[in-house]
Amino acid sequence: MAEIAIDLGTANTLIHVKGKGLVFNEATAIAFDEKTNAVIAIGDSAAEMIGRTPPSIRVVRPLSTGVISDFAAARLFLQQAIRQVVRYNRLSPLRVIIGVPSRISGAEFKAFEDALDSTKIAKINAVQEPVAAAIGSGINFSQPKGCLIIDVGAGTTDLAMLSLGRVVASRSLRIGADALTEAFSNFLKNERRVNVGDRTAEQFLREHGQAMLLSHAPGVVQAVDMKLGLPVEVTIEAEEVFAAIKEPVSLIVAELRRLLDSVPPDLAADVLSEGIHLTGGGSLLKGLPELLQEQTGLLCRHVEDPLKAVVLGCGQILENLSAFRFVLEAMPDEIRSDAN
């Protein structure tokens, strides 16, 4: 039986194959021929076409805010990505461990399940992403001790308090790195009267975005003047970038406060000694650990590999199912698959 672990994220999809390790790490994107609907490319090569395609090609990002938004595209993307890394058929079915947002609804999970199970040959187990990220980062949360993990992805921010091997409290925000990119693009449009591509804006924020003003160095972005329709280089002050993304960043801080407020005091007190673990690509925004630390007084640090923690954790579960059975058994009913 082919066995795989998947982190199907809004921006990136990672696949671990049992016995082989991480074999797929590409953008969650698929390009179609507009006329024939044939798939032209998936992954990074499809994402590179975003904003640069002729009218005959359509590029789709099948997920948004952490869940499937285009079912047909998600299904095709998964089928093609999985076929690149393993062989499976009715006689040799596929076993899948998949990471999902911690507060996903039953209907949203069903879409993941159906997209994977479309050939009726997948056995599926879902793991809440903060749990997977903790396992993948070697964080021990099997003790009766609170462990707080925040996963800032492209589409969602998942905040979870773990203890005794399970999520004891969680909150989620449909805001992540994509929302910051959108806020920055809107600033350029409204204040500077220039248009910028999503990929350019995202790249700029990786370098110049800040959750807290730690650097005052300006940055230059390539954009198109809205009036003249011509390409221009625009210099943006560090203070302007900071102000442009301040609001979505402040929502993450507010959600963290709400989570800390909602848990029993003993669990919250454990975080004083343990600190907060940050994971997900969006958590790499400069100054985010410093801001969260300033706002809560709690130590904040990144896990070892924020972009891979979820798939590493799902992979560890897959490699050692008996040791991690307690994790699968502790998952909420909404994400227990019928296919098991």
Among 4, 5, 6, 11, binds ligand ATP (CB under 6 A): 11
Q: State the Cα–Cα distance between residues 333 and 8, nearest whole angstrom.
A: 20
- How many residues belong to the site for Mg ion (CB under 5 A)? 2
Name the 3-class secondary structure at 149: strand
Q: Note whether 280 and 99 are within 8 A (CB).
A: no
Of 185 and 283, nearer to Mg ion (C-beta) is 283
Of 177 and 221, nearer to ligand ATP (C-beta) is 177
Among 43, 153, 176, 209, binds Mg ion (CB under 5 A): 153
Binding mask 191-210 for ligand ATP (x = CB under 6 A): -----------x---x----
Of 9 and 313, nearer to Mg ion (C-beta) is 9
Cross-strand bridge partners of residue 172: 158
Of 2 and 331, nearer to ligand ATP (C-beta) is 331
Establish if 146 lies at the interface with Mg ion (CB under 5 A). Answer: no
Q: Note whether 208 and 241 are within 8 A (CB).
A: yes
Q: Which of 42, 34, 40, 37 has its CA nearest to residue 8?
A: 42
| CB 102 to ligand ATP: min, Å | 11
- E strand segments, the chain: 2-8, 12-17, 21-27, 30-33, 39-42, 57-60, 63-64, 67-68, 94-100, 122-128, 147-152, 157-163, 166-173, 194-195, 219-225, 231-236, 276-279, 300-302
- How many residues belong to the site for ligand ATP (CB under 6 A)? 20
Map the footprint of ligand ATP across residues 123-142, applying CB under 6 A.
none
Of 62 and 165, nearer to ligand ATP (C-beta) is 62
Q: Note whether 309 and 94 are within 8 A (CB).
A: no
What are the residues binding ligand ATP (CB under 6 A)?
9-12, 66, 153-156, 176-178, 202, 206, 280-282, 284-285, 307
